[in-house]
Structure 1
Amino acid sequence: MKSLLPITFLCLMLNVTLIGQTLTPEQLQTDFARFRTALNEVHPEMYRYTPKHTFDSLFTATSARLNRPMTQHEFYVTMMPLLTALRDGHIKWIVSGKDEHYPFFTDKLFPLKLYFLDEKAWVVGNYGAGNVPDGAEITTINGKSTASLIQSLLPNMTFADGNRIGGKLEDLNRYFSGYYATFIGAPDAFAVTYRMGNEETNVTLQPVTEQAIKAYAEKHKSAPQHPLRLTFVDNQTAVMTIEAFFKEMNGLKFSQFLQKSFREIKTKGAQNLVLDLRDNEGGEESLGVLLYSYLTNQPFRYYDHISVRQKKRYSFPAWTSKLYRLAKFMVVKKRGDGYVFTAQRGLSITKPQKDAYSGKLYELLNGNSFSVTTEFAARAHADKRAQPGRAVFIGQESGGGYKLNSSGIFTITQLPNSKIDLGIGMFGFHMANVSAYPHADRGIIPDYLVEPTADDILTHKDRVMDYTLKLIQSQQSALTNSR
């Protein structure tokens, strides 16, 4: 579960600004020791993607760099290689009291909204008074090529499990200006080269403020829709959109929405279900289990096991759930060389629902399909072996990992001198029956890769949905002609 609520609360309670203040090497080493201890005692799958000996070398190299006075900003950046080595999209590294995407600069920010795909970027909006046209491809910023900028930023970004970059590119789409300021710089002006057709143009743009960026985002928000929706293209094809996995959203309970929707799908006899999970960053794990129970006709186990790093009290000051602290001696058990969490619905055998859907399933994913969403999609994808051709995945690779999701309840500690909050998901959710998937460090790779273009963004064209509905139509026509 990707939850920022406890972290936000801690930031508000412990709002201390240190930007510009110099930290001594002794203070830096104290914070470094707290950081290392917290990861070692809390993170359930610290060595999943980076072996221990590599991590130990990274710790040694990072500690050696903390031998001179540093600002909070310098320390924040110096520690990033350790965070990104986790390859855990849920890890939190937030300057207390600051927006996590604009931790050090609230002005001198890049003034264009960009859309990234592969190693290119196009203009899809303007936060300031610049005159770069929408749809223009940005080729350089302050003398650096777009490709080199992307290559510089991706290693400093954490929003992806394993070796995925889709989630990171989605983050750049939303927060490029903040990432640029934090990891590249906050200049007084931006020299930009852009291309329209075969013509290149050089312009100098004035920076904008964080406030201007957020005002733009608010002004250009899409018209509000309910986060849980069921529509019908025709009597044969239903489209279910789930924007998040929470028990209640906008007055509608998740369980009631599923019950009513699948009853309606069954009543109408729809044979095609499009399940739109794009930009769904997750929520409550049990609701992924519930959704899957409406999409199978066999009893199933959702999780193989849920790993926990340790059972004893932490040796450092930290915030975590009081209920978990009280209950862990009953619900955390020894297993082999480690520990597992045993109180989760998905660990037991779950029966299918009475109105479970058995027709053709089309799941839509992108880089923001994360956490609980990826768990659910992995569970459904694994069934392709037992039911070839039943489920089809369309769009872009998920941001979450196929076999493992490290999240759940968070433990949060604030480093005592730099006042940076480190938030660590305590549970490692290992999916059941996914061992046959050949990629240890990937998400759900779609059967049909369909990537939106900058023009799609500007014209509000849904390329992925259009592709899916045409695919359904062509498959129905082929079935009709074969009879």
Structure 2
Amino acid sequence: MFTLRALIRMIPGTILTVSFIMLCRPCAAQDSPLNKKFSPAQLKADLQVFSDSLLLLHPAIYRYHSKDVIRHAFDVAKRKMDSPLTATEFYNLTAPLIGLAGDVHSSIELPASIHQAAAGQALLFPFDVRIIGDEIIVASNNSADSTINPGTRILSVNGQSASQVIRRLSVMFSSDGTNTTFKKRMAEQRFAFQLPYAYGFPT
């Protein structure tokens, strides 16, 4: 379930009205790859391979952040792997790490099976959006609720303000240097997938 708080323009030119919308979606099947959990040993082994590869192969890993900062970030992620995690939970811990390199050509992607399962089980956020500054605007409505029109401003999702959601999704992507515009564009383009990946699938 996604809980939205939105400002909806009921009639062009009229005052904006606050509305609360509950979007109920099917839950992930028990045998879905979305639910498969990996042991702490598996998670930490993959994290070590990732860390070793990044530090060994990236030509300018410390250009924007010091060695201590990057090592600390990896240590924090590792400490959060003391219990089994799903692939998306592991992704949430590791994707922000590669962004520390400040290199748009470096990224982490989930397996295609995860994307296919999420799409096939109708677990995606049912709107295309545009991110403008710290605002999330509905660009098109793919849900069964026809009252939500393009131009609707989403104020919060699951209790998280629009600006919090944007920050959470943006850190999952890499960009050159400290550029944030590209990260927002990526979050915008992949919003339907990234939102449930970050905040969990409907239950």
TM-score when scaled to structure 2? 0.73
Maintained 8 Å contact 1:105/1:182: no
| Corresponding residue for residue 38 of structure 2 | 23
- One-letter code aligned to 2:201: A
Shift in Å, 1:103: 7.2
2:148 is aligned, of 122, 132, 135, to 132
Q: Which amino acid aligns with 1:174?
A: Q
- Structure 1 residues 445-480: Cα deviation after superposition (integer angstroms, max 9, x where no partner): xxxxxxxxxxxxxxxxxxxxxxxxxxxxxxxxxxxx
Q: Following TM superposition, by how much is the alpha carbon of 1:29 offset from its aligned partner in structure 2, in angstroms?
A: 2.1
Other-structure match for 1:389: none
1:134 and 1:74, CA in 2 relative to 1: closer, same or farther beyond 3 A? closer
Cα distance in 2 for residues equivalent to 1:96 and 1:148: 26
**Cα distance in 2 between the residues matched to 1:163 and 1:103:** 32
Secondary structure at the counterpart of residue 105 of structure 1: helix
Asked if the contact 1:94/1:103 (under 8 Å) is kept, the reply is no
1:328 is aligned to none
The aligned counterpart of 2:138 is 123
Residue 48 of structure 2 aligns to a residue in which SS?
A: helix
Residue 18 of structure 1 deviates from its aligned partner by 4.6
Measure, in 2, the Cα distance between the counterparts of 1:71 and 1:164: 30
Q: Describe the shift of the 1:103–1:155 C-alpha distance in structure 2 as closer, same or farther (beyond 3 A).
A: farther
Q: Match for 1:122: what amino acid? A: I
CA–CA distance in structure 2, aligned partners of residues 104 and 88 of structure 1: 29
Partner Cα distance (1:62, 1:104) in 2:
26
Residues 93-112 of structure 1 mapped to structure 2, 5 A cutoff: 93-98=108-113, 102=115, 105-106=118-119, 107-112=122-127
Where has structure 1 moved over 4 Å in runs of 4 or more?
Answer: none
1:157 is aligned to: 173
For the Cα contact (< 8 Å) 1:113–1:125, is it kept in 2?
yes
Given the alignment, which residue of 157, 160, 176 partners 1:141?
157
Which aligned pairs between 1:193-212 and structure 2 lie closer than 5 A? none
- Distance of aligned partners of 1:128 and 1:164 in 2 relative to their CA distance in 1, 3 Å threshold: same
Question: Which residues in structure 2 correspond to 1:403-482 (within 5 Å)?
Answer: none
TM-score of the aligned structures, taking structure 1 as reference length: 0.33
Is this contact kept in 1: 2:39–2:83, CA < 8 A?
A: yes
Distance 1:61 1:103, change over 3 A: farther
What's 2:104 paired with? Answer: 89
Q: Classify 1:104/1:59 alpha carbon distance in 2 versus 1 (closer, same or farther; 3 Å).
A: farther
- Determine if the alignment matches structure 1 residue 37 to structure 2 residue 52: yes
| Gap runs ≥5 in structure 1 | 1-16, 189-483
Instruction: Provide closer, same or farther for how the CA distance between residues 79 and 172 of structure 1 changes in structure 2, counting only shifts above 3 A.
Output: closer
Structure possessing the higher relative contact order (Cα contacts under 8 Å, 6 or more residues apart): 2
Q: Residue by residue, what CA displacement relative to the aligned partner does 1:349-384 show, whole Å, maximum 9, x if unpaired?
A: xxxxxxxxxxxxxxxxxxxxxxxxxxxxxxxxxxxx
The whole-number CA distance in structure 2 between the counterparts of 1:171 and 1:81 is 14
Is the radius of gyration larger for structure 1 or structure 2?
A: 1
What is the rounded CA distance, in whole Å, between the counterparts of 1:79 and 1:72 in structure 2? 10
What percent of counterpart residues are identical? 24
CA distance in 2 between partners of 1:40 and 1:103 (Å): 31
Give the superposition deviation at 1:84.
2.0
Assess if the C-alpha contact under 8 Å between 1:115 and 1:124 holds in 2. Answer: yes
- Greater fraction helix: 2
How far apart, CA to CA, are the structure 1 residues paired with 2:116 and 2:48? 22
Name the amino acid aligned to 2:101: L
Partner of 1:330: none
Question: C-alpha separation between the residues in 1 aligned to 2:47 and 2:116?
Answer: 19
